[in-house]
A and B are shown apart, each in its own frame.
Chain A
């Protein structure tokens, strides 16, 4: 099944989405789900038809990520796919040459290659623009990259890495350049998978670049244009990376409703107690407001309007509401919250992670405050 020439509001997309839901509901295996979802066209939804995608837009892509997470219950996999879509595919789409489109983008969207975005370093987290990985031109016009990266989503398995490196001293606004570094490039060493809590199924890793030689043809955007590449990735990632969490919240709410109706204490179903009902209402409110804002942002982006303030606002709001939701969730289960089958503590760990990836909540506030002229 493929999805073509469709938008989030068309009958054709609705039909496609129902097919995706049905597939995801069958519980696809984690080892094959990426390729199977890609084969159905999930990764190419937001890519315009002119670049070989479905041209269905951001809203459609977010609906698909949400549905995939909701029906499968997987959290790390849709997150990892979203990370590729927004931080790897989008910049290649915007800044890539024709050769980079056909060499990388097509393979990424079809699921035959996995992409990763490598900006963060051990000493450069929130202070990302202080990153130290260097790229220098050698006598033959190639680039030699030295440094290390960490917290790279998809790092352990990726076939291509979008690496941000410093090519000039002084302001990071002019001193950074982006490169596409294929796996197997001499001097690129891929570290072990980082153990973590939350986002089960998402693989995070580190990279070591030790005199890693990259062709000039693999520079993404102009020399000194790395800041623009970074901002392009973040503008999309912050707006849409949390789309799968909407599906996870919807799933958790549904199951919590079932549980509180089915379990009785003191001769009454839990769902009859005000304490429980208020929690469920607050969770419903969190999900609804998160959903409304994310899709309003996606629809605006489909009309060509997505500024950084809006992206940050969306990331901050959805992650905040996701955290509120997950604070309430365990109390509906009591001691059963600790059992893996409720998924309550796993989701809480996912919510904690959402406060940090794509820039912490504090950093989103800074961007929003700046936009307010503060």
Chain B
């Protein structure tokens, strides 16, 4: 199966905003408080920049950011 480059980019972005945390595809980001209110905003900005998407505030829902896989699924709905 071809590597999911978007998922790799998501994991890289999460690692960038949460340095030091061990991040795999299904790491619970919010439940484990790896991503907090400030780093979530940075993550959104980073994803927008890296993947050339626009994420509206109304899309910053916990379900979309639960884990790198959840973020990947959400981005798929935006055509990534």
Which residues of A does B touch, CB under 8 Å?
94-95, 129, 170-174, 221-222, 224-225, 227-229, 231-232, 235, 304, 307-309, 366-367, 370-371, 373
15 pairs of residues in contact across A and B, judged by CB atoms under 8 Å: A94-B58, A170-B31, A173-B35, A173-B36, A173-B37, A173-B40, A173-B62, A174-B30, A227-B37, A228-B61, A229-B57, A231-B60, A235-B57, A309-B42, A366-B38
B51 to chain A, nearest CB (A): 15
Contact with A along B18-55 (1 / 0, CB 8 A): 00000000000011010111111110010010000010
- Please give, as numbers and ranges, the residues of chain A lying within 8 Å of B56 by CB-CB distance: 94
- Please give, as numbers and ranges, the residues of chain A lying within 8 Å of B37 by CB-CB distance: 129, 172-173, 227
Contact (A227, B60) CB under 8 Å given A366-B38, A370-B39: yes
Partner of A231, one of B39, B41, B65: B41
Complex CA gap A224/B62 in Å reads 8
Name B19's closest neighbour in chain A (CB-CB).
A373
Name A233's closest neighbour in chain B (CB-CB).
B57
A285 to chain B, nearest CB (A): 30
B contacts with A, residue count (CB < 8 A): 24
Which residues of B does A touch, CB under 8 Å?
16-17, 30-31, 33, 35-42, 45, 48, 54, 56-62, 65
Extra contacts, 7 of them, besides A170-B31, A228-B58 (Cβ < 8 A), are A129-B37, A171-B30, A171-B62, A224-B61, A225-B58, A235-B57, A370-B42
Complex CA gap A370/B59 in Å reads 21
Contact (A94, B57) CB under 8 Å given A171-B62, A173-B65, A371-B45: yes
B16 pairs with A373, CB closer than 8 A: yes
B33 pairs with A171, CB closer than 8 A: yes
A222 pairs with B42, CB closer than 8 A: no
A228 pairs with B41, CB closer than 8 A: no
A167 to chain B, nearest CB (A): 12
Contact (A371, B58) CB under 8 Å given A129-B37, A170-B31: no
- Please give, as numbers and ranges, the residues of chain A lying within 8 Å of B40 by CB-CB distance: 173
Name A95's closest neighbour in chain B (CB-CB).
B58
Name A369's closest neighbour in chain B (CB-CB).
B38
- Please give, as numbers and ranges, the residues of chain B lying within 8 Å of A228 by CB-CB distance: 57-61
A231 pairs with B57, CB closer than 8 A: yes
A225 pairs with B61, CB closer than 8 A: yes
A270 to chain B, nearest CB (A): 47
B49 to chain A, nearest CB (A): 9
- Please give, as numbers and ranges, the residues of chain B lying within 8 Å of A373 by CB-CB distance: 16-17, 42
Partner of A370, one of B30, B41, B58: B41
- Please give, as numbers and ranges, the residues of chain B lying within 8 Å of A227 by CB-CB distance: 37, 60, 62
- Please give, as numbers and ranges, the residues of chain B lying within 8 Å of A304 by CB-CB distance: 54
A303 to chain B, nearest CB (A): 12
Counting chain B CB atoms within 10 Å of each CB, which of A129, A173, A366, A371 scores highest? A173
- Please give, as numbers and ranges, the residues of chain A lying within 8 Å of B60 by CB-CB distance: 227-228, 231
A187 to chain B, nearest CB (A): 28
B38 pairs with A370, CB closer than 8 A: yes
B33 to chain A, nearest CB (A): 6
Of all A-B residue pairs in the complex, the 8 with the closest CB atoms, nearest first, are: A174-B62, A232-B57, A228-B60, A370-B38, A308-B41, A370-B42, A307-B45, A171-B30
Name B43's closest neighbour in chain A (CB-CB).
A370
B38 pairs with A367, CB closer than 8 A: yes
A121 to chain B, nearest CB (A): 16
